[in-house]
Structure 1
Amino acid sequence: MHQSAAEWIVSLLRERNIPFLICGGLAARGYGSQRDLHDIDLFVPGEHFLSVVQAGQPFVSKAAAHRQEEGWDLTYVQFKYEGVKVEVGNAEAAQIFDAQNRTWIALSIDFSRYETVHFLGLELPLMLKEDLVWYKSVLSRPVDIEDVRAMR
């Protein structure tokens, strides 16, 4: 299931030469986490966000909007492809909730910092392990703590 959804979003992005970074559970899986995937999370640069939304329009399950939920404060769109949620975040002005300090902090997404990993039959640009561990440690939700432990 996740493979066809990953193939769909990756081909949509690559056909348009849109840079992207895989983050979240899929990136954690690429670095050794074994937990079940709930969705596919990735970021694109702000200047490409609307073209991604338009290209994936037939599969939109949550319209592109700014949301503050579950430790995240960002603009994103959610697609549903063959039953799998694919969440594409706009990297511009994204923030995460620092659980320890009880404050919102900037999540700086650097598209030059990635590791290409062969996963789900694709060459995927994963957010660097150290960056992923950092933001998951800051969020400190149970799922993030589980991923950090597995990646270490």
Structure 2
Amino acid sequence: MHPLAAQWIVGLLRDRHIPFQICGGLAAKGYGAERALNDIDLFVPDEHFMTVVQAGQAYISKPAAHHCEEGWDLTYVQFKYEGIKVEVGNAEGAHILDAASQEWVPLNIDFARYETVNLLGLALPLMLKEDLIRYKSMLSRPVDIDDVRAMRECSK
């Protein structure tokens, strides 16, 4: 089902020429992590966020709002497509909690910095491996630690 959800959100974004960057478990998978995906996570620039929300309105499972949870402080919308959660974050003002220092750190998403990787039958712009490892290391949740270990072990 993940390929269908990925095709849906990527089609929605590309039809509207909206830049995006895949992060989270799907990006980690692109760099060698093999765990099962929980959802599809990505960011879009602030000026396109509401366009995405409106375009995917029929599939909203968690309305666009500011959330501060599980080490994340950001505005996002959650869609559910074919049973798969697709979380689209607004890159503007996104922060993560550094587990070691207990300080909120800006997650500066640079849409010019990405690597295109073929995943789920699509060429996807992934957050750069070094950036992904840095933020997942800061969050340090068990799933992030597993992803970082797998990405470091993989020679991709």
Range class of TM-score, shorter chain:
over 0.9
Please give the alpha-carbon distance, in whole angstroms, between the structure 2 residues aligned to 1:5 and 1:107: 25
| 1:98 paired to 2:81 | no
Corresponding position of 2:45: 45
Cα deviation, residue 56, structure 1: 0.1
Cα deviation, residue 18, structure 1: 0.1
The alignment of Structure 1 onto Structure 2 pairs a total of residues equal to 152
Please give the alpha-carbon distance, in whole angstroms, between the structure 1 residues aligned to 2:70 and 2:46: 21
Summarize deviations over 1:15-62 as a string: whole Å, max 9, x none.
000000000000000100000100000000000000000000000000
Letter in 2 for 1:39: D
Letter in 2 for 1:60: I
Corresponding position of 1:61: 61
Q: How does 1:2-151 map to 2 (within 5 A)?
A: 2-151=2-151
Report percent identity of matched pairs. Answer: 74
Please give the alpha-carbon distance, in whole angstroms, between the structure 1 residues aligned to 2:18 and 2:138: 28
Please give the alpha-carbon distance, in whole angstroms, between the structure 2 residues aligned to 1:30 and 1:11: 19
Please give the alpha-carbon distance, in whole angstroms, between the structure 1 residues aligned to 2:82 and 2:118: 22
Structure 2: 5+ residue stretches without partners = none
Please give the alpha-carbon distance, in whole angstroms, between the structure 2 residues aligned to 1:102 and 1:39: 26
Cα deviation, residue 103, structure 1: 1.0
TM-score, normalised via structure 2 length: 0.97
Please give the alpha-carbon distance, in whole angstroms, between the structure 1 residues aligned to 2:12 and 2:37: 21
Please give the alpha-carbon distance, in whole angstroms, between the structure 1 residues aligned to 2:138 and 2:43: 18
Please give the alpha-carbon distance, in whole angstroms, between the structure 2 residues aligned to 1:31 and 1:113: 15
Secondary structure at 2:35 match in 1: coil
Cα deviation, residue 99, structure 1: 0.2
Cα deviation, residue 133, structure 1: 0.2
Please give the alpha-carbon distance, in whole angstroms, between the structure 1 residues aligned to 2:7 and 2:38: 16
Structure 1: 5+ residue stretches without partners = none
Please give the alpha-carbon distance, in whole angstroms, between the structure 1 residues aligned to 2:98 and 2:118: 31
Runs of 4+ in structure 1 displaced over 3 angstroms?
none
